[in-house]
Amino acid sequence: MAGNRNNFIAILISAVFILIALAATAIFKAKAPQSAINREFMQITSSSFKNSQPIPEKFTCDGEDINPELAFADVPANAQSLALIVHDPDAPSGDFTHWTVWNIVPDISGIAENSAPQGAVQGVTDFGRTGYSGPCPHNGSHHYHFTLYALDTVLDLGASATKLDIEEAMDGHVLAKAELIGVYEKK
């Protein structure tokens, strides 16, 4: 009798561990990390510079400080909006935001030089202002990441939103992500 009871308890404990493992797996899948985002097709490019190549001075604080032309391709058909974040992960502070734009219509083919998409919202950068502010490293060569996100929603954020606010609002809504990296060293 005691043996049957011990077997029953062992089976019950095993069943509880299996249920916990299944629940943990479901939670993990629901909160997949950004690295699990579909990156197979969407692209962001520029006619001004190639990926991992120097950004022309014109688009920096040493030049006209205007945004470069950006082209978007293969945006998912079910995207409701796009968001663009431009930042410098090499900054002494660890990361420096140069431009945020969201609620870009998903059927747009890109952003023209020295402009922002009509109807989109531009947020506050680490320069303390809205709009594009080009590369301006204090020393050395820095990498500037132009990251495009396809979203399954339109973000409910005002122009005072920061990069962190945008990333939090996008959590769980990213359909695809594409990145273009430019390099600049201040003269």
The DSSP 8-state label assigned to residue 67 in this structure reads: P
Alpha-carbon span 156 to 103, nearest angstrom: 9
- Predicted TM-score (pTM) of the model is 0.79
Amino acid identity for residue 56 in this structure = P
Q: What is the pLDDT of residue 27?
A: 46
Q: How confident is the model at residue 41 (pLDDT cuts 50, 70, 90)?
A: confident
Amino acid identity for residue 165 in this structure = D
Burial bucket for residue 167 (CB in 10 Å: 0-12, 13-18, 19+): middle
Task: Look up the CATH number of the domain holding residue 93.
Answer: 3.90.280.10
Q: Are residues 22 and 67 in the same domain?
A: no
Q: Are residues 42 and 27 in the same domain?
A: no
Q: Are residues 9 and 82 in the same domain?
A: no
Domain of residue 24 covers 1-31
Please determine, for residue 64, whether its predicted confidence score (pLDDT) is greater than 70: yes
The per-residue pLDDT for range 2-32, each reduced to its tens digit, is 566 666 666 656 554 554 555 544 444 443 3
